[in-house]
Amino acid sequence: MKRIYVYPNILHLHKDINTNPYIWNLCNSLRTNFEIVQAGKKPSRSLFLDIFQYIFRTDYIYFNWIEDIALGKYGPFKMILYYVMLLMIKVKGVRIIFMMHNKKPHQSNKLSLYLLHDIIKRSDILLTHANEGVEVIKKMDPSLKTYLINHPFEMADISLREENNKDIDILIWGTIKPYKGILEFLLHLKEHKLLQKYQIRMIGKIPDAKYKEMLFRYKSNHIIIEDIPAEPALLKQLTKRSKLTLFTYKDDTVLSSGALMQALSYGAVIVGPSFGAFKDLSSLDLIYVYENFDSMIKAIDEVLNGDSRVDIFKIQSYISNNTWDRYSYTLKEILGQNK
């Protein structure tokens, strides 16, 4: 059984509502066909430095969001260590797997953009969860081969999609950050005198106090904003009460979204931006997409008027064909093709 190190090493933390479940789900899947070398061991104080103690004990290093190490005041120092790490990897013959989650970090700088380009060119296996990710890498270097693996699903509860007692028109949830475009959405509603048109519910932690202050100016009887964790049990209830779930993400960074897949698995009717995994799902008639705020409002009104063209049976089939249980076997097959 091949050994694999998964970055970042956060398995020692509790998988709770405040953390992205992606790494836990990934490792649980990989255990079927690989030995997770850091399993059961706490990382170094620095998640990046933790890699060094495993380079000579693993066959693969599977990077997620490695470009983020270049952010912050220690970014330049970590870039030096990055090249030391690459030298050690080359000496040991460890193979690099890189999953490209975003076009660039949500808060990028020149070093992080450089690192993203560099790790793409140095990786032995390139993966992405969106067709647009393949296109982005091809623009960097047409000779690079990238494997598309649809973002896996943790679970599905499509039975939640009922048509009665829906008192929420638009549900927006997840950690609320500037790159998600929520403030711009509210401003558009204000400029077009639509703030009173919809019953909107927003739920999720707002880490930035200044951003929270700007958002809360829009609170009203029609727009409820809650700065609380988006717990799965509560999200299921709110999805059941909502006519649609809206994603307002900006297009300059995002390729795929775990929240998108989670919402789809809850049985939500989804309206999202026409890029990345959203565009992929739209091409399968699983969700609605929009090109700008005007077409967003048109899509919202179409759903609220009961003209939904989303096929629940297609959604069920898509989810069953793209589960975390299958992911490990898909990766093993890809690695077998690239020995």
Average pLDDT of span 8-20: 66
Asked whether 208 and 176 are in contact (CB, 8 A), the reply is: no
Domains and CATH numbers, the chain: 3-152+323-337 (3.40.50.2000), 158-319 (3.40.50.2000)
Nearest-angstrom CA–CA distance, 23 and 143? 29
Nearest-angstrom CA–CA distance, 154 and 20? 12
Asked whether 293 and 185 are in contact (CB, 8 A), the reply is: yes
| Proportion of the chain above pLDDT 90, given as a percent | 78
User: 214-235: per-residue pLDDT in tens?
Assistant: 999 999 999 999 999 988 889 9
Asked whether 38 and 29 are in contact (CB, 8 A), the reply is: no
What is residue 12's predicted lDDT score, i.e. its pLDDT?
Answer: 64
Using the predicted structure, report yes or no on whether residue 180 has a pLDDT greater than 50: yes
Using the predicted structure, report yes or no on whether residue 16 has a pLDDT greater than 90: no
Confidence of residue 198 (pLDDT cuts 50, 70, 90): very high
Q: Which is more confidently placed, 160 or 67?
A: 67
Beta strand spans in the chain (E): 3-7, 35-36, 60-64, 95-100, 125-128, 146-148, 168-173, 200-203, 223-226, 242-246, 270-273, 288-290
Confidence of residue 17 (pLDDT cuts 50, 70, 90): very low
What is residue 160's predicted lDDT score, i.e. its pLDDT?
Answer: 44
Using the predicted structure, report yes or no on whether residue 254 has a pLDDT greater than 80: yes
3-state SS track over 269-315:
CEEEECCHHHHHHHHCCCCEEECCHHHHHHHHHHHHCCCCCCCHHHH
Using the predicted structure, report yes or no on whether residue 159 has a pLDDT greater than 50: yes
Average pLDDT of span 197-214: 96
> What are the beta bridge partners of residue 64?
99
User: 267-300: per-residue pLDDT in tens?
Assistant: 899 999 999 999 999 999 999 999 999 999 999 9
- DSSP β-ladder status, 60-64 and 3-7: parallel
pTM, 2 dp: 0.92
Backbone angles phi, psi at 84, to 5 degrees: -65, -45
What is residue 72's predicted lDDT score, i.e. its pLDDT?
Answer: 87
Any idea how long the chain is?
339
